[in-house]
């Protein structure tokens, strides 16, 4: 996978496949960042993307949105995936109380949805995943852009 990377998907399964592709790239390239910052509106497929991503590291995991838990763990260390949902985070104190900063070191991977809410907390080097609906006529069509920052 080369960055920047862009693709249009037409189903949740195709969106999952792109997540799987990024996870494989990270697994095979230890120089890539272990933080994935996700951007996109409600219902664009961020959790579907994470479901595909997680299949590479923890195929048995039942991925669901961590909206109320704030963070879900899939797999085991040293390559655990920590899946954050920052939708309800409103300030630095909220973020700090989740223990977010403790997750950023080591071999583990952090994937955070709603990074629009935490621009001050995104690591200096990360993978940015933006997902957007491309048309109101094509219900499942999404544009996914992945950039190495």
Query: How confident is the model over 29-74, as pLDDT tens digits?
Result: 989 999 999 999 998 999 999 999 999 999 989 888 877 678 899 9
Instruction: For each of the domains in the chain, give its residue range(s) and CATH number, in order of start.
Output: 5-148 (3.40.50.300)
Does the structure show a pLDDT above 90 at 141?
A: yes
Please state the pTM of the whole predicted model: 0.93
Give the DSSP letter string of 48-84.
HHHHHHHHHH-TT------TTTSEEEES-TTS-EEEE
Pairing of strands 127-133, 35-39: parallel
Confidence of residue 132 (pLDDT cuts 50, 70, 90): very high
Identify the pLDDT of residue 32: 96
DSSP 3: S
């Amino acid at each position: 996978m080369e960055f920047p990377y862009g693709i249009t998907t037409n189903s949740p399964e195709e969106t999952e496949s792109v997540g799987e592709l990024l996870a494989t790239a990270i697994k095979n390239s230890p120089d890539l960042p272990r933080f994935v910052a996700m951007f996109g509106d409600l219902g664009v497929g961020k959790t579907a993307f994470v479901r595909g991503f997680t299949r590479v590291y923890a195929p048995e995991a039942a991925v669901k949105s961590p909206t109320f838990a704030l963070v879900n763990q899939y797999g085991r260390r040293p390559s655990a995936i920590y899946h954050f949902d920052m939708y309800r985070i409103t300030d630095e104190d909220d973020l700090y109380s989740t223990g977010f900063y403790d997750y950023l070191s080591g071999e583990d991977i952090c994937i955070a949805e709603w990074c629009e809410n935490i621009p001050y907390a995104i690591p200096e080097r990360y993978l940015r995943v933006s997902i957007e609906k491309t048309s109101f006529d094509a219900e499942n069509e999404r544009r996914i852009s992945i950039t190495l920052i």
